[in-house]
Amino acid sequence: GPRQAPPAFGNDPLGDANPPGLLRTLIYPRPVQIIQLPDRVVQLFEYGHFWRTIWTDGRAVPEDQGPYWYGYSVGTWAGDTLMVQTVGLDARAWLDEWGTPFSDEAKITERWRKVDANTVQMTITVDDPRTYAKPWPSDPRTLRLQPKGSPNGEILEVIFAPVDEKEFNERVRNPAGGRGN
């Protein structure tokens, strides 16, 4: 991608233990726990051990919010589909692991559709007129309910700590890129 460099040069924001940001978290294939409350939906992500609130209490998407690593999200129900609008994203994050950029004008639309009792499908549309000529949708991501009692049925603690990234850089990234400690 346009901002990616060899791992040894460490320009990926994750290399300094920064949060991955909303888009990268949504597309990473790790478990997410979804909790529906009367006025919001809370998502707990195993990847980075982050949470996110999607307000479903009727509020409008604010004009001027953020920047936040996970943006400001408002959702509405259309039948069995949760439509989520997110604004106020911090453009220092990457869209994906290849360094794909987006600007602070990006507006993200997610469609979370219940396929059956155990399956949800999510599609993301990126609308960023400063960076892209037209809005574009992602491929669908399918999430399946983990059976109770299964080893994968719990959200694990997966945290990017600076001390761990430093050790990984010294042990793996730097030697792989021909850089000494």
| pLDDT for the residue numbered 17 | 75
**Tens digits of pLDDT across the chain (181 residues):** 555 555 556 677 777 778 888 998 998 888 888 999 999 999 999 888 889 999 999 999 988 888 999 999 999 999 989 999 999 999 999 888 888 899 999 999 999 999 998 999 999 999 999 999 999 999 999 998 877 655 666 777 777 777 777 787 778 777 777 776 5
Q: What SS3 string covers 73-110?
A: EEEEEECCEEEEEEECECCCCCCCCCCCCCCCCCEEEE
Contact status, residue 106 vs residue 126, Cβ threshold 8 Å: yes
CA distance 40 to 143: 20
| pLDDT for the residue numbered 150 | 59
Q: Which residue has the tokens 């999510």?
A: 122
pTM: 0.82
Contact status, residue 13 vs residue 7, Cβ threshold 8 Å: no
